[in-house]
Structure 1
Amino acid sequence: MAAIVWQTPANPPEPEDYIFFKGKRYVRPYYFEFISHVKNRWAGKTIVDLFTEEFRGRPYEYYESAVKSGRIQVDDKIVSVSYIVRSTQKISHFVHRHEPPVLAGNVSILHSEPDVITVCKPASIPVHPCGQYRKNTIVGILQAEHGVAPLFPIHRLDRLVSGLLIFARNAGKAEQFRQQVTRPYCYYKSDDVI
């Protein structure tokens, strides 16, 4: 039996991660290590209480079982359900992920420059990793299918919306665009500001 390979956000999506079936794009299930560091407001809580309060998507019993089985660890060690976390400790939550499918539309690159890329976003695909989506995102698909990374969204379109998306290819260009987008407009008539 092959050893389990745990992926983290550092593992980029690959073309072979995707399966196309009946007009939908699926992601092959994979093992994933969610990593977070204990925030000051989390310190002093038991590991199970922390997860139950902060990550409400699963019940107390799930987190209790995950800690007992070692699927939730602190500083790469198995701990008891009554373990009290301390600030800055590393917490790992190991899960087997099944991402929801999206429509199988192409993510077309319409224009590419050294600092900026414009794409046509199909409906049903989120822009960046969020919630249940990591690889079935515009950012993930562009990385897997076109080798384009890193990408910094200038704006967002909701998952169910299609349209044009502009990405910066570096953080400096993204900030420059954001400032231009949020800058108030002045309309001029002759020499007077209206």
Structure 2
Amino acid sequence: MNRQILLCLTLSALLACNIAHAEKADQDKPIILEAEKVSVNDVQQTYDLQGQILLIKGSIVVTGEDGHIQVDPEGYEFVDVKGSSDTTASFRQRREGPADEYMQGRGTQVTYNAKTEVLTITGDASLKRSLNMQMLDQLQGWKIEYDDIKERYRVTPPADAKPEDLPLARAILSPRRKATLEK
């Protein structure tokens, strides 16, 4: 009986907890790079990539046509990938937690700072948060910033946007209560 109560309390605590950050195991994974051209500078810890880029680091997958990676002295990566006139740059990462929850986005340019866990997508940007293949949140705009630590989205228009062009941002956000119960 005590075991059943403990199990129920544990499950209740898991359901009540809606904290799902980026997959922490990603930090310790190696970077796998594929591109038509890769230039590596071990002294400065920089990588330049050109043509059909595929970057994989744990659950993180980044694609694009032109990219640059800078690794800081602490080992954190700053990734900057651009698309081409024919393709967009994209980012996908599994979020920490018991379910299949992902953040995925695309745009003209994707930047990700592994130290601050801030993802920025620029140029006809879109970002989705999904759980078990079901879309929970969806954002569209010129520039989308997602801070994974603070779990905050920000969509901003281009600097030269005119008031008659607004709204330039769109968001569909699922109620957190429902999303928590479905986990």
TM-score (norm 1): 0.26
1 or 2 for the larger relative contact order (CA 8 Å, sep ≥6)?
A: 1
Which one has a bigger Cα radius of gyration?
Answer: 1
Q: Per residue, is there more strand in 1 or in 2?
A: 2
Structure holding more helix per residue? 1
